[in-house]
């Protein structure tokens, strides 16, 4: 009986470890590189050594900030963990001599891309790694038979300005124009007419 339970646990654990990163699945925190810039909905653990009341999980709000005791609101969006840690140390020094602060990303929930139009599974995709256009199309199950494969567009918003990047799947399939397979950024929309 114990062997049966152990086998089931191994089977379930293996299945869970192979789950896709479609919305709802959380990429592991260990995958976050030190240069990662935080975004809205990311979850961090902020702790001040020897002060349990100043240890807590915080979520980056849609306005790019999070609240922390004694210091108030802290800008997190588009900043690295080290930049946030240094800011907290500086601001906490008014209240605690030589604060030892650590900041760790617990969940990456802001790195979403959207694939819409004539793909098998259109929708929002939560991805935990750098993803290019082909990979996003693959996540969405590929193009449907009636998709205009040479009319695909990547739509990106930067500082309120919309940019459009053309993507010609047919050319890429022939090994041409490989540089058009750009890395997607947080919030990009891949539109397949």
For 130-165, write each residue's pLDDT tens digit: 899 999 999 999 999 999 999 999 999 988 899 999
pLDDT per residue as tens digits for the range 67-109? 999 999 999 999 999 999 999 999 999 999 999 999 999 999 9
- 126: which residues sit within 8 A by CB, 6+ positions away? 21, 22, 23, 24, 25, 26, 27, 109, 111, 112
The domains located in the chain, with CATH, are 29-107 (3.30.1950.10), 112-192 (3.10.560.10)
pLDDT at 22 exceeding the cut of 90: no
Range of weakest confidence among 19-28, 82-91, 161-170: 19-28
| % of the chain exceeding 90 in pLDDT | 76
Burial class (CB in 10 A: 0-12, 13-18, 19+), 106: middle
Question: Whole-angstrom Cα distance, residue 128 to residue 110?
Answer: 9
Cβ within 8 Å of residue 160, ≥6 positions away: none
Cβ atoms 73, 58 nearer than 8 A: no
Cα angle, residue 143 at apex, residues 142 and 144 outer, rounded to 5°: 125
Q: In what order do the strands lie in the sheet with 51-59?
A: 51-59, 43-48, 101-107
Q: Are 127 and 148 in contact (CB under 8 A)?
A: no
170: alpha, beta or left? (left if phi > 0; alpha if psi -120 to 50): alpha
The end-to-end CA distance of the chain, in Å, is 55
Separation CA 168–CA 153 (nearest Å): 8
How is 174-192 classified by DSSP, letter by letter?
TT--GGGSPBP-TT-EEEE
Distances in Å between the Cα of 52 and the Cα atoms of 44, 47, 49, 55, 181 are 16, 8, 8, 5, 47
The pTM of the whole model exceeds 0.85: no
Q: What is the tens place of the pLDDT at every residue in 117-126?
A: 999 999 999 9
Residues 23, 125 contacting (CB under 8 angstroms):
yes
25-39, 156-170, 174-188: which range is least confident on average?
25-39
């Amino acid at each position: 009986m114990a062997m049966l339970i152990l086998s089931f646990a191994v089977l379930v654990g293996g299945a869970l470890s192979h789950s896709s990163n479609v919305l709802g699945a959380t990429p592991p925190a260990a995958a976050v590189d030190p240069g990662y810039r935080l975004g809205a909905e990311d979850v961090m653990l902020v702790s001040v050594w020897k002060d349990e009341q100043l240890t807590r999980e915080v979520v980056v709000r849609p306005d790019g900030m999070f609240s922390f005791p004694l210091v108030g609101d802290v800008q997190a969006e588009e900043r690295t963990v080290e930049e946030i840690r240094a800011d907290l140390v500086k601001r906490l020094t008014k209240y605690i001599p030589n604060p030892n602060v650590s900041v760790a990303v617990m969940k990456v929930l802001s790195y979403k891309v959207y694939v819409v139009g004539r793909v098998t599974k259109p929708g929002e995709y939560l991805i935990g790694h750098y993803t290019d256009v082909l990979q996003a199309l693959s996540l969405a199950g590929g193009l449907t038979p009636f998709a205009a494969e040479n009319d695909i567009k990547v739509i990106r918003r930067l500082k309120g300005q919309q940019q459009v990047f053309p993507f010609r799947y047919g050319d890429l399939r022939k090994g041409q124009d490989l540089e058009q397979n750009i890395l997607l950024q947080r919030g990009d929309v891949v539109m397949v007419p």
